[in-house]
Amino acid sequence: MESIEAYLERKHREIRLLNDCLSHPVHLACPRSVDDVIKSKFRVTAALRAEHELHQWKATETAWSHAAPPTSGPFTFSYDYQRADLKVRGPSFYQCGRTEQAIYTASGMAAISALLLASTRVIGKADILVMPGCYGETIELIERFVPHLRLVSLKLPLGDALARAGSRRILLLDSCVPAGAFEAALRVDPSALDLLVFDTTCFAGGSGRIRRVLGWARRYGIPVVMVRSHTKLDSLGAEYGRLGSAVFVTPGEGANASLCERLARETSEAVRLLGGAALPAHFPPYVGTAAYWRLTRQRIAAMLRNGRRMRRYFASELAQLSAELHFTHGLYVTLRGQRPLDQASAQQAAEDMSRDLSGKGFPIRHAGSFGFDFAATEWFHNATTGEYSVRVAVPDLPTELWDELSVAIAAWWASSQ
């Protein structure tokens, strides 16, 4: 268990890391409450973004100035008109060994959209295999805008679902699927796959699960593209800006290496033509240092610990009202209604719960994301079953306070249903 004193000291180190990126850091006393932590972090983040705009005023969309290349902390950028040819030099958001090329985009969905559209010129028509519980918007994207990919929804047990068929095959492995589905995929021989698209958004950049997947693919010589939204877990909970990437991992040499290189080239062209390039101002300037990685690991560890405690409590107290408690990332759970929910009723329930519990002094907000220093609620749609539920995202909070909030959430949900 982490005491409130230890928690506040750790949060003070996080805020100090952000503050030290300012040209003129402000004096910051150690926060005395969770509310102090949240407000201080977002205020310093806003100051960083404002300072970036003031200092980089010549770095316009038309790149008219011949001044020094624009920067954001350790990141250096070069580009021409509207960042169509954006090149980024700086630290990786991953700690998983050697990667070949990173293409940065305006969001995680922009990254996977460009990649899947580019695949038509490199792979052509193919089956794209998706695990149960895959991210709903990715499924919607494939169904509506990527007709050359035939969507194949897998079911457990997988059996020989990844075996060679008459067409080329792409596996979409998503970090938001239930734990059972994720583990089932890693127990299957993937050698018949032409490509693995791995959405890592819900895993920390140094996650052992990322290394496991890359090792699994490497053993069978499968090229991998890791797509990611960096808005979630890569900015110390400050939601610094919208940023995504596609990172290409080539398995040695040969035909698969050539496919990866061509796919990276076509993805870059798709980003250019779709206007989905990243904004330099959205790269957190505090990324990449030893202190950043240490604090990130501590944050994720606290959230995973809190998630385990919440799951055990909900399994005991809300067994009949729990939709999914065992996502492979461990960062949120979903709750179902006594009667089926639709999007509007799930969204209203999330808003009502956050408002009522926040009014009692708990750090909880109605927010459509996760990885914060406060609990976040939002509606959730399971693209596999079609069911709607309410997502409760685990925050980085001291243990005792989180246990109290978990009890309050369970009591509110049980009484509301």
Please name each of the domains of the chain with its CATH number: 4-55 (no CATH), 71-282 (3.40.640.10), 292-416 (3.90.1150)
- Neighbour tally for 273: CB within 10 Å: 12
What's the confidence (pLDDT) of residue 333? Answer: 98
165-199 pLDDT, tens digit per residue, is: 778 999 999 999 999 999 999 999 999 999 999 99
**Please, which pLDDT band fits residue 98 given cuts at 50, 70 and 90?**
low
Average pLDDT, the chain: 94
In this structure, is the dihedral angle defined by the CA atoms of residues 405, 407, 413 and 416, taken in order, positive or negative? negative
CA distance 255 to 168: 14
* Ordered alpha helix ranges (H), 2-146: 4-19, 34-55, 108-122, 136-145
In this structure, is the dihedral angle defined by the CA atoms of residues 47, 51, 57 and 61, taken in order, positive or negative? negative
What's the confidence (pLDDT) of residue 269? Answer: 96
CA distance 100 to 259: 13
Q: Name the more confident of 23 and 253.
A: 23
Specify the length of the chain in residues.
417
19 token code pair: 């503050």
403 CB-near residues (< 8 Å, 6+ apart): 309, 313
Residue 89 backbone phi and psi in degrees, to 5: -115, 125
Q: Does the pLDDT value for residue 158 go beyond 80?
A: yes
In this structure, is the dihedral angle defined by the CA atoms of residues 135, 378, 103 and 270, taken in order, positive or negative? positive
Type of residue numbered 59: A
Nearest to 228 by CA among 251, 210, 252: 210
CA distance 270 to 273: 5
Please check whether residue 363 is in contact with residue 373, taking contact to mean a CB–CB distance below 8 angstroms: yes
What's the confidence (pLDDT) of residue 394? Answer: 98
Lowest mean pLDDT among 33-42, 93-102, 393-402: 93-102
Nearest to 94 by CA among 176, 18, 173, 204: 204
What's the confidence (pLDDT) of residue 20? Answer: 96
CA distance 323 to 417: 14
Q: What is the largest CA-CA distance in the chain?
A: 65
| Arithmetic mean of pLDDT, 361-390 | 96
What's the confidence (pLDDT) of residue 66? Answer: 66
Burial 154-175 (b: 16+ CB within 10 A, else e): beeebeebbeeeeebbbbbbbb
DSSP assignment letter at 370 = -
| Arithmetic mean of pLDDT, 246-261 | 82
Nearest to 276 by CA among 83, 94, 121, 132: 83
259 token code pair: 């496919």
CA distance 275 to 271: 6
What's the confidence (pLDDT) of residue 163? Answer: 80
**Please, which pLDDT band fits residue 99 given cuts at 50, 70 and 90?**
low
Q: Does the pLDDT value for residue 249 go beyond 90?
A: yes
243 CB-near residues (< 8 Å, 6+ apart): 104, 105, 106, 107, 229, 230, 231, 234, 278, 279, 282, 283
Percent of the chain's residues with pLDDT above 90:
85
Q: Name the more confident of 54 and 312.
A: 312
CA distance 23 to 48: 9
Strand arrangement, sheet containing 168-174: 101-105, 244-249, 224-229, 195-199, 168-174, 126-130, 149-153
Q: Does the pLDDT value for residue 119 go beyond 90?
A: yes
Please check whether residue 327 is in contact with residue 203, taking contact to mean a CB–CB distance below 8 angstroms: no
**Please, which pLDDT band fits residue 250 given cuts at 50, 70 and 90?**
confident
The pTM of this model reads 0.95
